[in-house]
Amino acid sequence: MKYFPIKGGIFGKKTLKHVKAVDGVSFDVKEGETFGIVGESGCGKSTTGRTILRLLEPTNGKIVFQGKNITELNKTEMRRLRKDIQIIFQDPYASLNPRMKVKETIEEPLINFGITDRSEREKRVLEVADQVGLSKAQLERFPHAFSGGQRQRIGIARALISKPKLIIADEPVSALDVSIQSQVLNLMRDLQKEFGLTYIFISHDLSVVKHFCDRIGVMYLGKMVEVADKKSLYDKPLHPYAEALLSALPSPHPLQKKERIILKGDVPSPSNPPSGCTFHPRCFSCMDVCKTAKPSLQPANSQHMVSCHLYHEPNEHQAVLGDLYE
């Protein structure tokens, strides 16, 4: 879980309040798969990704990677672990230092990881440059000489340099033209096959996620509301929010017309989330119990985990205490 403390004023007095940026997010990622995290902007997707890397410190909860609880590691252990978990950011323009040659940008993590042998570093840079399709001559240039797609190749090379096992890709193709998007995604898929990489792929784009991911978690207001394999989710979403999101996609069978579900209202502020199920003010299936009892993520069948009272009777504890958790 990740809570951000924020300061808020009530009647002139300073009080400290918690924005539950990410609350009760629980999922597991299998080795070698691509796990997608989808949801509208501000739902906590990026926060979840950054928390896994401890670029943001989790307020509580556990993050387990290869049997180790990451949240308990000290700085040195964490630095070592960062070799195994890398991140690719959305905006290749902003994430590259304009004053560094491409080869220096790609090499930098190796210096941070304490690899002192220069020729060893250079050899590795040439190796990854080749893997992502950058030429030797391009390594001598500065980022401004590159297009968006090429800059994302540089970002991927930088992430790959330490031979990671898990790469968190935070909207890696959202800033790119559609034609370039597929080139970058194909490259990521080839690298995954070649090196057995595991991806956590964060995106607001349901079509890209459908194309690229094996299993998917849908987030709403800092919570994971449904987790399922791709086919089960896209064929039959269970959570009303997931159903509404997916109804916006064109139907794969043109004769089978789907009705688009338009949600009422906007995403509420995470600093003042609705009581009970935080989706209830917008939900077309809202029941009385939803206003007070918080649902939790539980299996609905063998393919889906879902956090919704339509699939699980709220237990007494939730029904009584739901509001107190706010």
Encoded tokens for 178: 């559609």
Q: Which ranges constitute the DSSP H helices of 53-205?
A: 75-81, 102-112, 118-132, 136-139, 148-160, 178-195
Taking contact as CB under 6 A, which single stretch among the options 7-15, 58-66, 86-94, 282-290 is the one that binds ligand SF4? 282-290
Stretch that binds ligand SF4, among 2-10, 93-101, 284-292, 317-325 (CB under 6 A): 284-292
- Nearest one of 245, 247, 182, 222 to 307, comparing CA atoms: 222
Q: Which stretch binds ligand SF4 (CB under 6 A): 128-136, 143-151, 262-270, 279-287?
A: 279-287
What residues from 233 to 272 belong to the interface with ligand SF4 (CB under 6 A)?
239-240
Compute the distance between CA of residue 138 and CA of residue 130 in angstroms, rounded to an integer. 11
Q: How far apart are CA 174 and CA 99, in angstroms?
A: 24
In one letter, which amino acid is 136?
K
- Strands 215-220 and 223-229, how do they pair? antiparallel
Among 25, 110, 168, 290, binds ligand SF4 (CB under 6 A): 290
280 in contact with ligand SF4 (CB under 6 A): yes
Task: Tell the smallest beta-carbon distance from residue 239 to ligand SF4 (Å).
Answer: 6
Torsions phi, psi for 2 (to 5 deg): -135, 115
Backbone angles phi, psi at 9, to 5 degrees: -105, 130
| Residue 187 binds: one of ligand SF4, Mg ion, none (C-beta under 5 to 8 A by kind) | none
Asked if residue 277 binds ligand SF4 (CB under 6 A), the reply is yes
279 touches ligand SF4 by CB under 6 A:
yes
Provide, rounded to whole angstroms, the least separation between the CB of residue 280 and ligand SF4: 4
Longest dimension (CA), the chain: 67
Q: Which does 44 bind (CB under 5 to 8 A by kind): ligand SF4, Mg ion, none?
A: none
46 interacts with Mg ion by CB under 5 A: yes
CA distance 237 to 230: 10
Contacts of residue 85, defined as CB under 8 A and 6 or more positions apart, other chains included, come to: 52, 53, 65, 164, 165, 166, 167, 168
Using CB under 6 A as the binding rule, whether residue 309 contacts ligand SF4 is answered as yes
Answer yes or no whether residue 126 interacts with ligand SF4 by CB under 6 A. no
Residue of minimal CB distance from Mg ion? Answer: 46
- Bridge partners of 49, per DSSP, are none
**Choice from 22, 43, 213, 308 touching ligand SF4 (CB under 6 A):** 308
103 in contact with ligand SF4 (CB under 6 A) = no
Of the candidate spans 30-38, 88-96, 174-182, 274-282, the one that interacts with ligand SF4 by CB under 6 A turns out to be: 274-282
Contact 216, 206 (CB under 8 A): no
Q: Which long-range contacts (CB under 8 A, 24 or more apart) does 13-19 make?
A: 17/271, 18/59, 19/270, 19/271
| Of residues 257 and 264, the one with the C-beta less far from ligand SF4 | 264
Strand 2-10 relative to strand 13-22: parallel, antiparallel, unpaired? antiparallel
When CB distances are held under 5 to 8 angstroms depending on the partner's kind, the choice from ligand SF4, Mg ion, none that residue 180 binds is none
Q: Is 315 in the site for ligand SF4 (CB under 6 A)?
A: no
| Binding interface with ligand SF4 (CB under 6 A) | 239-240, 277, 279-280, 283, 285-287, 290, 295, 308-310
Residue ranges binding Mg ion (CB under 5 A) = 46
